[in-house]
Amino acid sequence: MQMQHQTFHIKQGMFIPPAHWDGKLPSSATFRRLMQKSIDDDLNSIHALEKLVETYAWSGWMNQNTDEVKTVVLDALSSSRLSDAQSVALRLGEDSWNAPIFRVCLLCLRLCATGAFKIPSTLRKLGGQVVRWITLLCRTRIISQIDQGAKEDLIALFAIVSAQQDGLAIITENDPLAFHAFPSLMVTTFSHQVHKFTEQAYLYAYNLLSSILQAYYLKPSRVVIEDESVVAAMLAHPKETADFFMHTWRWAFGVLVGPGTGSVRRHAFFQLQCVPLLTSLPDIRRHLVECGFIASMCITARKIVRGEVEGPSNVFTILSIILNFLVNQVNRPKHMREALDAHIISTILRIPDMSSSIATDIHMSVPLEKSCFGFMTKCMTYTLFPTLRSSFKRSIVRVDELVDRGAITWRADNCSRIQRMYLRCMMAVSEPNRYDGWNKIPCSNSKSCKSTTIIGECARCEVAKYCSVACQKSHWKTSHKTTCGIIQALKKSSCGDLAPLDLFDNVALHFACKRAILSSMESDTSLKPRLRSLFDSRDMFTGPSVRDTPTVLINLWPSGSQMLSVPVECEHDISIVRCSALLASLDNIRNMKSGDGEGSVLETVEALRAGGPPVALMAGDWMGMITPLGQLLSDSPSFEVEIRARPVD
């Protein structure tokens, strides 16, 4: 790997070396003398060596004088000097980057990274010291003071020596502080802009990240995330970790599909081993999804199905990993839109015919078929949302084109269950008014206004909708002044930077939720007894019993989704307020304060329902709201419901 010389300029097609270089390189004896003086903290010698490292022919000269370089580097990175550097770091803190001992250390590490040592044979002996030195550089924030070329050299060097047995053992066993080095390098390298790594550096970074995470998760003692661990270090910088992973993913798998875009690299599939581990960390998973990882996964699957891969590989296993990720992580309409626009449906339908584009005799495995069917089933649920219909229709047109070209084999007399589910999706999208009334959005001031002509919304909570300024003022005085703050608090604690559902999707969703609740009450066995006693007949939605016994329904169904949309009033006067899965108990709700610091969520909900219709407070994934409520209550062992009834004062 060659150094990236930031001091060079290109003029008329020629490299112009720095002005201070006279074209002469030192003899091995001169270098040895300069290096020894540098180790003795001679600033002039250090400055001279730093200039030499920037010269054009430096790398080749080092390879010709390997023995001399090896001798002085081993001396410069010795254990005794490491102890001295740790003392300097404690004394000077962030200012220690300019201390002679650290300047010499950085110079020697760059010598290691640029070929002075025969990798990996010699570095195997020095690997432990290199890991400790780089860890010290990162923990004292010296790394943020050096140029980008040095950072790239260091991350490649750290990956090389850590991926070896001795270096990895230091990280996972002997020196837990070294866990912080690699995330710190990622932070400093990718915080501001994308920089170009060499292919070798990316490959080492893949292997290192995978090795460290697997070593961490496979250890039985690491049940709890420790303060000094790779997981803790990555959780401290979730955005930077996600950015690094996305940069390397796009390098390995590409961002476009088709001729001239490049094939999926042969060694790129190492990175898939990191996906389940990284996505098990909620903060990192959220950042990955927000920066387009769902679309990138769909593009990767599409490239594989088209045969744009370097050499044969276990493509069906890879596709299973990708589709399982999509089934588990597509939890919002915008996520599904990203997947649809990346042609995920046509990709899935092409999988059975992959043998025509990839040299393999293996038939589609049962797990892969199950994953394909699982995602198509999820697509069927998302046909509910009006804002996704255009994306679904484009997907249908795309599938028709591929069928005409023969890329998708379709046997009308013997469709697979995946194809049958696709036909159901196509029919659902074709229905003009699947849910009657989805486009009838009522004014939030519903007690005195029945208009469905919405012209604006509350600027604070972005949930309450109004047909006029007069209705907004009236609603604020009567009730919204109380609820606006709590809605803001729910949004802040639940999803932060995630936007609420589209207005039309909101109404369609809760219309479907209302139908699911009504449908579940038609069966005597669909509801648990303690819930059935309250929902004893459909008349409760219109009868006086509602006003006699207001109720709060807490849905504690665990979910990875953090989508929020609150509140929406459905027909039959059912008010549904959604929270995130983080609100897992009534105690949590009691302790959560509203936006202005006055009152808890529970008090606000009770104020809303006092003397009015029941309030269903559902914490969990919206998918559970569309699924018939009775099925969830009776079939899911982890589903808990708590009812709190109180007579009206």
Q: What is the pLDDT of residues 118-154, one digit of tens each?
A: 544 555 566 777 777 877 777 656 666 666 667 667 7
pLDDT tens digits, residue range 84-106?
Answer: 887 887 777 767 767 888 878 87
pLDDT score recorded for residue 124: 59
pLDDT score recorded for residue 325: 85
- Of the pLDDT bands very low, low, confident and very high (cuts 50, 70, 90), residue 187 is low
| 321 or 183: which leads in pLDDT | 321
pLDDT score recorded for residue 395: 93
pLDDT score recorded for residue 298: 92
Range with top average pLDDT, 9-18, 27-36, 167-176, 318-327? 318-327
Distance from the first to the final alpha carbon of the chain: 78
pLDDT at 445 over 50: yes
pLDDT tens digits, residue range 277-329?
Answer: 777 777 788 888 888 889 989 998 998 888 887 765 677 778 888 888 888 88
| 433 or 424: which leads in pLDDT | 424
pLDDT at 499 over 70: no
pLDDT score recorded for residue 578: 36
In order of 400, 559, 562, 645, the CA distances from 592 in angstroms are: 51, 20, 17, 21
pLDDT at 625 over 50: no
pLDDT at 550 over 50: no
pLDDT at 43 over 80: no
Q: Which residues pair with 465 in a beta bridge?
A: 457
Q: Can you tell me whether residue 385 is helix, strand or coil?
A: coil
Q: What is the mean pLDDT of the chain?
A: 63
DSSP 8-state secondary structure symbol assigned to residue 582: T
Report angle CA 266, 364, 312 to the nearest 5 degrees.
20
Q: Counting beta carbons within 10 angstroms of the beta carbon of residue 467, is it exposed (0 to 12), middle (13 to 18) or buried (19 or more)?
A: buried
| 330 or 226: which leads in pLDDT | 330
> Crossing angle of helices 481-494/601-609, nearest 10°?
140
DSSP 8-state secondary structure symbol assigned to residue 260: T
pLDDT at 216 over 70: no
| 57 or 266: which leads in pLDDT | 266
| 504 or 646: which leads in pLDDT | 504
pLDDT score recorded for residue 155: 67
User: Which of these, 321, 464, 345, lies nearest to 394 by C-alpha position?
Assistant: 345
pLDDT tens digits, residue range 225-256?
Answer: 455 556 666 777 788 778 778 877 877 777 77
Q: Can you tell me whether residue 604 is helix, strand or coil?
A: helix
pLDDT score recorded for residue 2: 35
- Of the pLDDT bands very low, low, confident and very high (cuts 50, 70, 90), residue 347 is very high
pLDDT tens digits, residue range 387-417?
Answer: 788 899 999 999 999 988 888 888 766 678 8
* Sign of the CA dihedral with 264 first, then 268, 272, and 275 last: negative
Residues 515 and 571: their CA atoms lie apart, in Å, by 10
Tokens read off for 65: 């004088």
Mean pLDDT, rounded, for 3-24? 36
pLDDT score recorded for residue 344: 93
The amino acid present at 434, given as its one-letter code, is R
| Weakest-pLDDT range from 176-180, 223-227, 290-294, 637-641 | 637-641
Q: How many Å is the Cα radius of gyration of the chain? A: 31
- Of the pLDDT bands very low, low, confident and very high (cuts 50, 70, 90), residue 343 is very high
pLDDT at 349 over 80: yes
pTM of the model: 0.57
pLDDT at 509 over 90: no
| Residues contacting 406, CB < 8 A, separation 6+ | none
- Of the pLDDT bands very low, low, confident and very high (cuts 50, 70, 90), residue 384 is confident
Range with top average pLDDT, 115-119, 443-447, 598-602? 443-447
Residues 626 and 483: their CA atoms lie apart, in Å, by 25
Answer yes or no: are the C-beta atoms of 583 and 619 closer than 8 Å. Answer: yes
In order of 53, 98, 241, 543, the CA distances from 189 in angstroms are: 21, 20, 11, 64
H/E run at residue 372: helix 366-382
| 337 or 540: which leads in pLDDT | 337
Mean pLDDT, rounded, for 259-282? 72
pLDDT at 466 over 70: yes
Percentage of residues in the chain with pLDDT exceeding 70? 44
| 103 or 202: which leads in pLDDT | 103
pLDDT at 70 over 70: yes
pLDDT at 15 over 60: no
Residues in the chain: 649
Residue that is written with structure tokens 């250890």 in the block: 219
pLDDT score recorded for residue 263: 73
pLDDT at 78 over 50: yes
- Domain map of the chain by residue range? 292-433, 496-645
| Weakest-pLDDT range from 79-88, 208-217, 593-602 | 593-602
Answer yes or no: are the C-beta atoms of 557 and 636 closer than 8 Å. Answer: yes
pLDDT score recorded for residue 575: 36
Range with top average pLDDT, 159-163, 194-198, 203-207, 330-334? 330-334
Mean pLDDT, rounded, for 501-510? 52
pLDDT score recorded for residue 219: 56
Mean pLDDT, rounded, for 166-186? 59
- Of the pLDDT bands very low, low, confident and very high (cuts 50, 70, 90), residue 163 is low
Mean pLDDT, rounded, for 607-634? 36
